[in-house]
Amino acid sequence: MTNDHLITRRRALFIGAAALGAAATTGTEGLLTVDDPARSVRSTAVVQDPQARASLRPSAFRLHPLTGGPPRHLPARTAVRHEPIRSMPGRGRTMVLTFDDGPDPRYTPGILRTLRAYGVRAVFFVCGEMAVQHKDLLREMADDGHSVGNHTWTHPLLTSLPRARIRAELERTSEVIEDGCGEAPLWFRAPYGAWNRTVFRLVAELGMEPIAWTRDTRDWSAPGTRTIVHRVEEGAAPGVIVLSHDAGGDRSQSVRALRAYLPYLLDHGYQIALPGRQFT
């Protein structure tokens, strides 16, 4: 990588991080970004055109990872929140799909294939101990334009840990994500939805925003594919953040459920969007 490329990348990261702090101080308005207006409604037919799929390949979305050179620098800290983001205000009928605990080679590839087939992007909150073993899946997420968020290293109950241990859980995971995806994570989700002041402060220091969810599919309890589908479809509404899992147990029901509710949402006029922080 040339010096010009490094300077350009650092400048982009610096500008992005500064804008993130400004967005956090103004609340969550404008945090939802729609990938492409042309994707607002899609049919249930699976995309088969190789050229259509090519639009989701590496050159379109992925930042090339740094190799060698000086040590990485942490992004500028964001504003400290007092509660996590639970919904994403935005224009129109927009929703966010999220998947926790992976990546898992048994289930994550199936979820990625379905999202790719419909041209949809999601947020994967990964655990460091899983991600470090499956960096190929991290790269696939980044190549397809998904957002990869931090979900700690070992999925502990953070509110029971000392500050130093919490920081280590977050920092190690962010490093693995940056190595695998080429950029540090912008988003953090606490395991079990357990937050306290220390967690919020550390998340801000590491340049991330805390996100919870609006609709919990409770797929971790393996309630049945139809039940998961019903919970998503029943809870569909503008700004809803859906919580599902691609690891942490048998997630075959989650994989099958996505195949059913994703075309339903698209056919009912919902745009599946990534959470985003405005840079303009």
* Residues noted as catalytic: 100, 245
Distance CA 189, CA 209 (A): 9
CA angle, residues 130, 261, 57, in degrees to nearest 5: 55
Which sign does the torsion angle of CA 240, 246, 247, 248 carry? positive
Distance CA 122, CA 140 (A): 13
Antiparallel, parallel or unpaired: β 215-216 and 32-33? unpaired
Contacts of 183 (CB under 8 A, 6+ apart): 13, 63, 142
Distance CA 99, CA 136 (A): 17
Q: How far is CA 268 from CA 40, 95, 162, 271, in A?
A: 10, 12, 46, 9
Asked if residue 228 lies in contact with residue 254, where contact means CB atoms within 8 angstroms, the answer is yes
Distance CA 117, CA 212 (A): 27
Asked if residue 262 lies in contact with residue 110, where contact means CB atoms within 8 angstroms, the answer is no
Which sign does the torsion angle of CA 200, 127, 61, 50 carry? negative
